[in-house]
Every structure is written in C-alpha cells, then in structure tokens.
Structure 1
Amino acid sequence: MSTGTPRRRRTVGVIAAGVALVVALATAAAVWSVRGSEPVATELALTGDLRTHDPALVAGDPDGDPSWYVFSTGDVRVGLGSIQIRRSDDGLHWEDAGTVWDAGTRPEWVYDVVPGVENFWAPELYQHDGTWYLYYAASTFGSNRSVIGLMTSPTLDPDDPAYGWEDQGEVWRSVPGETDYNAIDPGIVEDEDGTPWMAFGSFWGGIQLVELEWPSGKPADPQAEPITIADRVAPPNAVEAPYLVHRDGWYYLFVSRDSCCQGTDSTYNMAVGRSRDVTGPYVDRAGTPMTEDGGETLLETHGDQIGPGGQSVSGGYLAYHYYAESLGGDFQLSLRELAWDDDGWPVATTSSD
C-alpha cells in the first residue's frame, strides 16, 4: 500500500453517476424493506480493497464531495503504522487511498507517551464548522498506557489543494496505576446544545465519557473525572469501541463486546443501549443499564462473518469489520443499512442472517 499517490480526478460524468448512486443508496437506507411488521436492514455487496479493521465511515462528504471514505486502524508494515484510508465513488467498490501521515508528518510525541507503539488504532471522524477532526488511539496490546490524539484537515478529499492533516496533539490519556480505564477507541457526538462529547474505553473500567469543547476538539476540563456509561461488571470487562448516535431525542450507545483480533476464534459482537441524556443512563429494551452488563444485541457471528465489531455509523449505514472464515480469519469491511423499528431501536440484521 502506498502512502498517498495522487488520484486521477474523476470526470463530471463519473461524479454525477456517483451522486445519483449515493442518493439511491441513502433513499434505500431511509425506506427499508419490511417483512411483516419488522424492518429489515440490507448488507451492501462490497468489492475492492476491503481489508480494514475498526472502520470510521463517512458516507458522502456533506461539503459536496460525493466520495465515501473509510479510515481504519494502521499496519506497522504500511506507512509507519499510520491510520489507513480507503475511498469509494459509490459506497460499493473500495480502493486504497494511502495513509494519513508519513515519516515527515507523523505525531512523534506519541512515541514518548506510549513507548513501544507500532501502529495507530480505531480512528473517529467528525466534522464541525468546516473542519474535519480525526481522533485516533495509540497503545500496545494488554496495556492501558494509552493516548487519544487529534489531527484536523479542512477536507477529506486528497485531490483538493487544501487537503492536509495537522497534528493537534493529545486529547486524553490513561496511565497504569493511575487510571482504571483505557484511553482508546474514541467516539464523538454533539448534544442538543451543540456541546461535543467523547466516549472511549476498552476493558479495564469500561466505557467512559468526557465533555469536549469547540473549536479545539479537546476536553472542556482536562482535570474532569470521566463518567462511566457502560460496564460488564465482571472481569475482564470485555466491552469497547463505543460509538454514539443522536436520533429523535435519544442518544444511542453502540459497543463491541467480548474478544476481537483472534481470527476465526474471535467472539466479538455488537450491542446497543439508549438514553434521553448524553451522560446516561444507557439501557436496553428490558431497562437494564449498560453499566450493569445491559445492552441490546445488534449483530453477532453469522455465516462467513465471524466476530463483527469495531463499528461506526454514517448516513444511515453501519460500518464494521469481521473475520472472514473463507479467508482463514482475515479481517474485512462490511456495510449495512441501519433500519429502525417502531420502538426506535436500530436493526442491523436481514432475514438471511
């Protein structure tokens, strides 16, 4: 994989076709199929370069670029472990679009905070006031010596002359013996007042939430104690990858549970809870708080897809990775329409699952 070979500009006709298909796909997401009274979500038939882990999806840039983007966990063998980028004109066929940084632009300070870091994990993309905020995590397996960093760019389009990622430094960290949580897997949401919040966490003390502020995209109070919003209660507290969605007066907390990164032995699965308040409590249909091992199962192992998780949501679509049994457990990208039932709960399965 290269680290940013310029892409040939698309013709007007290709752009128009891409826009039309994006509109069609978005319409399909909004008007889902119904068998009986149950909404049915549909998996998209993807092709191309799909080898992504912890995908952060942008389903069409709201600034007018019809391209879809997926940013994902890096690989130490490619671009110095930088966050990887893939791009699609239609949401179906995906191509390598390089990495976020190279030797001249990587965040060197991270290597002092987290000695031994090799690759960068679990990115999150959020746009505010014309700026794209790219949050990412740096850690090593089995340790909560971790940090969440931030980069910004005015655009996601690498063909735009304004494109370029600027290091904004540290957002939050965890330190063994000082913090009982793990500062990885950032997920951003704005509340009804426009205040940004960041969920994060993996194992240890569960999922945490801290208030941020614009335009820095950093903590409103760096000394604030995070709020715990999800916990499995018993060791090893296998919950991570929080993603928050604000819809129709509810805040939805999507998480991945159990174990990833073990190929066909992975037990990852997705769950969701909701709350009227961004700070919780998040509960499942039965009213069990997610701080007490609650959570409505959203998607689990099915067919060739082992251990789905590492999710994000954009434009009505759920993005996640899974471990393909047919590929010996290698990880792959999947996209699904995210439907909603009459009670306001997300649905990610089809009748064939």
Structure 2
Amino acid sequence: MKKPFTGFCFSLLACVAMPIHAIQLTGITEIHDPATIQKEENTYWTFSTSNGIDSRYSTDLIDWKFNGPTFPEGTWPNWINKYVKNFKGHFWAPDVVKMNGKYYLYYSAFATTDSSFESAIGVAVSDSLNTPKWRDLGMVVSSKTEPYSPYKLPTNTIDPGVFKDANDNVWMIYGSHYSGLFVAQIDPTTGKRMNNIRYPVAGNNGKWHELEAGQIQYINGYYYLFANLGDCCAGTKSTYYVVAGKSDKPTGPFLDKNGVDLYNGGGTTVLKTKGRYIGPGHFGYFNNNGQHLVSIHYYDGTTDKGIPRLDLLQMSFTNDWPKFTRNFTLQKSSNTVMTSIEGRVAIVSRLSGKVLDVEGGSKADNADIIQWTYDNRANQHFDLKSLGNGYYSIRASHSGKAVEVEQQSTVAGADIRQGTWTGGTHQQWKLIDVGAGFYNIVSRHSNLALDVFNFSTENGGDIRQWTHLNGINQQFQLKYVP
C-alpha cells in the first residue's frame, strides 16, 4: 500500500492520522445496491434498493445511521403506473448526483408481466440531503420507449449510474441483462435526457448477457467502466464480482486489459469474493479530497444467510488499472478533511492566488499553461498521478493531456505547455513540500521548477520553468476538487 501523504490539510489545525487497519463500518450497515456517496456540509449520504428508497448517513464515513425512505412506503410517483403497471413500491439501485447546487436522485422501477417485464428510471430533486424536500421530475427512460436490440431483445432500464466527464457534462449509464448497458447524456438543468441518442458500452453485442450495475468515472485521464457479473441476491451463495474496462471517451469503447471491448463480452476482473466479503457489487466512487474511495455491498460470510452490508475500500492504480484494499488510512484534520497525494486538484500560485489554466480551454497539443482567476472550469483542474518512481504526471482534466516542458527544453525560461502523454521525462514532475501547505513542482527532465514568469499577478501571466530558487512565485498549493 502506498504511504499516505499528509501535506494537503486545508486547515491550520494539525492533521490527525488514524492507524492503518481494515476499515470496519459500524451502525446500520445492512444495505443493498448503495448509491454513490454524496457529501453535504459535514454529512455523507447514500441511498439503497428498498421500499420507498431508504437513505443512510454518516458524519465520519464509518458509523452509519438510518434515515428512512424518500417516498413514504406504499406510495410512488403516479407516472410509474403507466410505464411499470405491476409495480408495488420496491425501488431498485438508486444513484445520486449534485448538479447546479441541487441533488438529483435517480431510481429504478421494475416489475414482471405475464410475458416479460417492464422497467423505468425516474428522477427526483431536492435542494438538500440534510433537510430534504424531494420533488419528483418524472420518467428519464423506460423499457417501453427504448428500442430493441438487433436480436429482438428489450432494454432493461434499471441501474442508473450518473457521472460527469472531463468538461463537466453529465451522463448516465443504465441497463442490465437482455440487450446491454448504454450511456446517454443528461441535461443538468432538467435532470432528463439531453436527446434520444444512446451509446452501447457493455454487453454481448446486442445478444443476451449478464452485465449489470454499471458505473463510469473519469479518473487520471481515463473513463473507467465498472460493472457486475455473476449472481447477486443469494446471500452466501452469491457469485457477484466486478469487472472493468477503460476508455478515452465517456461513450467508449471501453476495453479490458486484453483489449477486448466490454460491448463484445470483455471485462477485466478487479474485485471478487475474499474471505467474509462475498459477492461484492454495485460499485460507487467517492473522491474524498483526492483519496479514491469506493462503496459497494457484500454478503457477510460471518452471518448464516449472508446479510448484505455496506463496505468501503480505497482504490489505487497500477499501470492505469485499479486495485483495491480495505487496509487504508483516513487522514483527518479537525474539520474532517482527508487527504492523499493523488487526485484532481486546482494548482494555486502562492504569489498571485490564481490557478494554473490551459489557455482558452484548448484541448490541442502545445496549448499554453498560464495563470487565471479560479472559476471552477475543467481546464483549471489537473489530475495528479504517481508514476511509482517519485515523480508524478499532471494531466489537464478537460483534455487528458500532460503538463510538459515545451520541446523538452532544459533552458531556464522555457515555456510550459500541454501535450499528449508519452511518459517522457519532460512530462514527469517532483512535488517538494516547502511547508505551510505549499509545494515546488520540479521537472525531472531539466531539474527546473514551475515558475510564474516575471512575478506576474495578472490573469494570463505565463507559467515557465526556471532555476529552482523556492521563491514565492515557485510555490503552489494543491486544492482538491470533486
């Protein structure tokens, strides 16, 4: 396990390190299909498969409390009766995302019919999770409105997984057995689909398949698709396991380690039964101030029937492929900020208070790196990733391109640009802690430091490399962004 880094506490108060051991969640942990964890103020929330869509909350990610259903049991939005006529109020596999300052809860309704099934995904919205007032917005997608596959199989419209791409566009992966898993773009102003276009991303080329519980996340310049295979919902006899693929685009294709498209039956196994943790499933990703956390459910092998429980793991990457551990440290300050050296950050100049910015939001090679007032744009966010050799790649989140020294120069004053990742030493950077939460960022190639040129405090001030002097114009704070 990588040694946790403790330098990014955004508080003048000291960090407190918890000892490394297997994380054991407490409280009301019985759950199935936990939604992606969301944080509002100092409280973490998740939702689950249940009558009425139950929720649970925690103030420390460890001890969980029950908060009851979103919809009063025995009631549900009236539109469901039209699209899922035999529905009885048991909602499946919700997911929650924050858009435009509001929380959108996506949920599945499913029921069998005499000859087949009917299913649909709906969405509700609330201004708050801590003090929720849910307002249903209606149907997003349904089995009645989705086209059949070329092999005459319907789309099982369940298991919504909502995510944002590198440019903060919102997408939803959905689907299950039958014709496949699909991605559609979501309009963040309505919570509904942007259009009727859908992209097939996982399955068996339109034939029957068993993938379900899809989630996609953009991490370190790649889109990772996680989904489940095997049998769920059978307690200790469950055979659920998680497979993954990755892509350069939110719409795929997603390839496994062997280069096989997940839509053509591919999928690299990344998480499976281990000891008491039987049938792990329903992946959810939570970027906890740079620390890659994953929520799942598992069936507890220490209980007679295999009670489904919430689990929390830490995810890291080797050669761009995920691995997981339950033995990890939560670095806490008194305001419950947890830290890690990897993750998505804004890089803030100590001199000017402005952030590194890819000029004009360009995605092209050789686009200039400048400083600009922070306004939460994707071209002001960078993904830090350890290369395992003491150096890091720094990739612009909107383009996936790497911060690099122009033309591999070793001359002081050479410009800093973005370029396609090659792994060259001109794209590798050392982070040197200079105290008070600030860092020098030094090129492996030239041994020169990132520098706000000519001590500029203006928007558009150029970022270059210069002799490493640890001046205030060479000191940067790394502020994690979700």
TM-score, length basis structure 1: 0.79
Aligned to 1:201, what secondary structure does the other structure show? Answer: strand
The Cα RMSD (Å) is: 2.8
Corresponding position of 2:447: none
**What amino acid is aligned across from residue 348 of structure 1 in structure 2?**
F
- Tell whether 2:110 aligns with 1:139: yes
* Residue 48 (structure 1) aligned to one of 3, 19, 27: 27
Q: Is the 8 A contact 1:43 1:334 kept in 2?
A: no
Structure 1 partner of 2:472: none
Number of the residue aligned with 1:168: 137
Larger proportion of strand: 2
For 2:56 and 2:146, the matched residues in 1 are separated by: 38
Three-state SS of the structure 2 residue aligned to 1:261 is coil
CA shift for structure 1 position 178: 5.3
Measure, in 2, the Cα distance between the counterparts of 1:194 and 1:116.
Answer: 37
Is contact 1:144–1:181 with CA below 8 Å preserved after alignment? no
2:146, 2:155 within 8 Å by CA — same for their partners in 1?
no
Unpaired runs of at least 5, structure 1: 1-18, 34-41, 75-80
The reply on whether 1:308 has 2:280 as its aligned counterpart is: yes
Matched, 1:149 2:125: no
1:320 alignment partner AA: I
Once the two structures are TM-superposed, the CA of residue 287 in structure 1 deviates from its matched residue by 1.2
Identify if the C-alpha distance between structure 1 residues 286 and 210 changes in structure 2 by more than 3 Å, giving closer, same or farther.
same
Counterpart check, 1:339 vs 2:310: no
Q: Which has the higher helix share?
A: 1
| Number of aligned residues | 304
Mark the CA change 1:228 to 1:67 in structure 2 (over 3 Å): closer, same or farther: same
Percentage of identical aligned residues: 32
Equivalent residue for 1:95?
A: 65
Partner SS for 2:260: coil
Q: Which residue of 2 aligns with 1:13?
A: none
Distance (whole Å) between structure 2 residues aligned to residue 214 and residue 105 of structure 1 = 27
Task: Tell me the equivalent position of 2:190.
Answer: 216
TM-score, normalization by structure 2: 0.59
Give the direction of change, closer, same or farther, for the CA distance of 1:140–1:105 in structure 2 (3 Å limit). closer
User: CA 1:84–1:177 in 2, change beyond 3 Å: closer, same or farther?
Assistant: closer
Shift >6 Å, 4+ stretches? none
The CA distance in 2 between the partners of 1:168 and 1:43, in whole Å, is 41
Q: Secondary structure at the match of 2:111?
A: coil
- Within 5 A, what are the aligned runs for 1:193-204? 193-204=167-178
**Post-superposition offset of 1:248:** 2.1
Q: Counterparts of 1:104 and 1:275 in 2: how far apart (Å)?
A: 42
Q: Structure 1 residues 313 and 85, CA, compared in 2 at 3 Å: closer, same or farther?
A: same
Alpha-carbon contact 2:314-2:326 (below 8 Å) kept: no
Aligned equivalents of 2:168, 2:134: Cα separation in 1: 24
Rounded Cα–Cα distance in structure 2 between residues aligned with 1:204 and 1:43 = 38
* Cα distance change on mapping 1:178 and 1:154 into 2, 3 Å: same
Matched to 1:289, the amino acid is D
Q: Give the alignment of 1:112-127 within 5 angstroms.
A: 112-118=82-88, 119-127=90-98
CA contact (8 A) 2:312 2:326 kept: no
- Give me the whole-angstrom Cα distance separating, in 1, the residues matched to 2:133 and 2:29: 24
1:170-221 Cα deviation digits (max 9, x unpaired): 0000139953221000011222333211110111012111122121121111
Which residue of structure 1 lines up, in the alignment, with residue 468 of structure 2? none
Compute the displacement of 1:322 (Å): 1.2
Out of 276, 297, 308, the position equivalent to 1:321 is 297
Distance (Å, rounded) in 1 between the aligned partners of 2:108 and 2:74: 19
Unaligned runs of 5+ in 2: 1-9, 149-153, 328-482
Question: Which digits, 9 at most, give the CA deviation of each residue in 1:25-56, with x for residues without a partner?
Answer: 9x99xxxx9xxxxxxxx752101111110001
Question: How far does residue 105 in structure 1 lie from its aligned partner after superposition?
Answer: 7.0
Any idea what SS the aligned residue of 2:45 has? strand
Taking structure 1 as reference, are residues 148 and 256 closer, same or farther at Cα in structure 2, changes over 3 Å only?
same
Equivalent residue of 1:57, what SS?
coil
Q: Which has the larger radius of gyration?
A: 2
Query: CA deviation digits over 1:210-252, x for unaligned, max 9?
Result: 122121121111x43x211011469741100111101122111
Q: 1:294 aligns with which of 257, 266, 278?
A: 266
CA drift of 1:272 comes to: 1.0
Cα contact 2:155–2:180 (8 A) shared by 1:
yes
Equivalent residues of 1:43, 1:336 under 8 A apart: no
Q: Tell me: CA distance 1:339–1:176, structure 2 relative to 1, closer, same or farther (3 Å).
A: same
